[in-house]
Amino acid sequence: MGNVAALDCGSNSTRLLICGEDGTALRREMTITRLSQGVDASGMLATEALQRSYDTLARYREFMDAHNVDRGLLVATSAVRDAVNGAEFLSAASEITGVTSRILSGNEEATFSFAGATADLEPHASTDVILDIGGGSTEIAGRIGQELVSYSMQLGCVRVTERALGKEVVTPEREAAALAMINEQLQLAFAKAPKFESIVGNVRLIGLAGTVATLAQLATGEAEYLRERVHHQTLSSADVRHWRDTLSSMSPEERLRIPAMVPGREDVLHAGLYILLAVMERFQIDELLTSENDILDGIAASLL
């Protein structure tokens, strides 16, 4: 066996993880590509969004060559699931990277994410639940008894921004529209996965992906991303509310002037925090554990 690569073409970012045959992470990369630009309204992946993604994947192929990768899997999620030209994108992505590509269902996405995020965690008295806030969808998954219970909400930081919240200073009307959209999806999640109700108040919530990672970076005040400072940080609901309200009162340009803000997230991060706080309130919990191990780690493990 040789080195393996996991690639995730998400709605907001395109990411790469290269692992050695012993499972050691050799390289991690993240690029904001906003593949979901306009998909919610048009049903199509935009030409410029496709080109940004193709350019990034070509660069990742160079990294894979440098690390002698001989096997890999590229997965696409919400934006590609929703797009009429999703198959065209997958075909081109496979050709550029030289690896198999496939669209994950919401349940598969949650399964890989749960495996990746919990692999290095000590057991806990509460039920582990992962929350993966993407650009177009948000996955909730928890092992309840012997079953992995999951649901993929049609809800993400880009989708909520484009549909309801807007990129600029949030008005009361826009906030009300966003909260209605989020709460409707949360009600649906609990209706479709009724076992979630049995663990309310008894959850260790593990937050994944860019919204949570950027929040953790804001909380530390670090201008530069340091994985060890962001991974397995405990944040309170008060922290989430503070940053949600602070960012919502700013323009994207003002948000970008915050030293710890990740460029490319300044126009959608506040929407992700609305989702995060609503989920914490629905599960009646006050703390969140951040994790930089996620769907990529779950995919890489499946290849080894």
The alpha helices in 16-137, defined as continuous H runs, are 39-42, 47-66, 78-82, 86-97, 106-118
Cα 116 versus chain centre, distance: 13
Residue 9 in 3-state DSSP? strand
- Note the pTM of the prediction, 2 decimals: 0.88
Report CA Rg, the chain.
18
Domains and CATH numbers, the chain: 3-103 (3.30.420.40), 121-295 (3.30.420.150)
Query: Which pLDDT tens digits describe the chain residue by residue (304 residues)?
Result: 789 999 999 888 999 999 999 999 999 999 999 988 888 788 898 999 999 999 999 999 999 999 999 899 999 987 788 889 999 999 999 999 999 999 988 788 888 999 999 998 988 999 999 999 988 889 999 999 889 999 999 999 989 999 999 999 999 999 999 999 999 999 999 999 999 999 999 999 999 988 999 999 999 888 888 888 889 999 999 999 999 999 999 999 999 999 999 888 999 999 999 999 999 999 999 999 999 999 999 999 999 8
